[in-house]
């Protein structure tokens, strides 16, 4: 008998013995579900080594699991379809409740890498799709691309509410990320037109503000001139004007040789007129 054959027989016997004894290990962050003679144990196996004779053990992830949902075509509130919506939903199941979830939602789990299973993956995926369709239906197509974070938040809340309705405290939806939003070409054209109109409106509003500020400057200048004229008029009293007239007459008198003097009708004092004497 060859060494290769002996080796193969040895491995087969070891696997059989291991299965018979139910020996294995659970990775940190996961739990195991024991099944013996078709009956699922409701007590989850903790991370580490285990030995459960005559039983099979299935390892499930209790860590955060990502569900990628691509190619959705939801209808917006204006009855226009979004060309493509891609999102990722992150969830986890309470470790101690995974056996209950696996029993209640049999067939809804899927295998991940390294023979580890995602509990109730298909259930969460289906509810997440429905939540995305419901939330997009509340918004007009022209604003969907601007509301990614808000839509993601609403999807998370709706999905969590749906899961809590039947399994309170079992599922935790930690995040929802909208990765792609592609609208139909007709909607894209409408979005571009709306953006162009908004830019024109902003430019017109800026022009109006500039005109208002220029008008405010002119008004302030006019008020300043009016105030200045008012101050000057207040200083030109009759007494002050009479004083100035008297000063002018005195200047005429000092110079002499004046032949003509214009006397204002409102002047109260008699002018002093110097008349040259005639030669004898």
List, for residues 157-177, the tens digit of each pLDDT value.
Answer: 999 999 999 999 999 999 999
Measured distance CA(125)–CA(110) in Å, rounded = 11
Measured distance CA(97)–CA(167) in Å, rounded = 10
Q: Where are the domains of the chain?
A: 3-60, 65-184, 185-235, 237-280
Gyration radius (Cα) of the chain, Å? 48
Whether the pLDDT of residue 93 is over 90: the answer is: yes
Is the separation of the CB atoms in 154 and 74 below 8 Å? no
Among the listed residues 100, 86, 87, 118, the one whose alpha carbon sits nearest the alpha carbon of residue 40: 100
When pLDDT is cut at 50, 70 and 90, the band that residue 75 belongs to is very high
Whether the pLDDT of residue 186 is over 90: the answer is: no
Question: What is the CATH T-level fold of the domain 65-184, as seen in this structure?
Answer: Tetrahydropterin Synthase; Chain A (3.30.479)
pTM of the model: 0.62
Measured distance CA(49)–CA(26) in Å, rounded = 6
Least confident among 21-25, 61-65, 108-112: 21-25
Instruction: Using CA atoms of 59, 62, 63, 65 in order, give the dihedral in degrees to the nearest 10.
Output: 80
Those residues with Cβ within 8 angstroms of residue 165's Cβ, 6 or more apart along the chain or in another chain = none
Is the separation of the CB atoms in 108 and 188 below 8 Å? no
Measured distance CA(177)–CA(240) in Å, rounded = 85
Among the listed residues 38, 46, 160, the one whose alpha carbon sits nearest the alpha carbon of residue 98: 46
């Amino acid at each position: 008998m060859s060494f290769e054959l002996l080796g193969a027989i040895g491995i087969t016997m070891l696997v059989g013995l291991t299965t018979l004894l139910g020996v294995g290990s659970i990775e940190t962050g996961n739990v195991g579900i024991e099944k013996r003679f078709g009956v699922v144990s409701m007590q989850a196996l903790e991370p580490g080594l285990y030995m459960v004779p005559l039983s099979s053990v299935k390892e499930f992830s209790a860590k955060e699991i990502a569900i990628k949902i691509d190619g959705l075509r939801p209808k917006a509130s204006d009855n226009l379809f979004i060309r493509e919506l891609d999102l990722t939903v992150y969830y986890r199941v309470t470790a101690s409740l995974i056996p209950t979830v696996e029993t209640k939602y049999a067939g809804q789990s899927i295998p991940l890498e390294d023979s580890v299973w995602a509990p109730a993956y298909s259930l969460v995926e289906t509810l997440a799709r429905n939540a995305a369709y419901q939330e997009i239906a509340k918004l007009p197509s022209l604003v969907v691309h601007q509301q990614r974070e808000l839509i993601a938040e609403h999807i998370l809340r709706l999905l969590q509410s749906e899961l809590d309705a039947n399994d309170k405290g079992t599922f935790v939806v930690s995040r929802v990320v909208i990765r792609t939003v592609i609208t139909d070409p007709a909607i894209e054209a409408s979005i571009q037109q709306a953006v162009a109109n908004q830019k024109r409106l902003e430019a017109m509003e800026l022009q109006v503000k500039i005109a208002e500020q220029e008008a405010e400057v002119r008004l302030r200048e006019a008020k300043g001139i009016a105030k200045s004229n008012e101050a000057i008029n207040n200083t030109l009293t009759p007494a002050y004007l009479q004083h100035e007239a008297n000063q002018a007459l005195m200047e005429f008198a000092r110079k002499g040789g004046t032949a003509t003097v214009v006397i204002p009708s409102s002047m109260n004092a008699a002018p002093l007129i110097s008349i040259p004497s005639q030669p004898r």
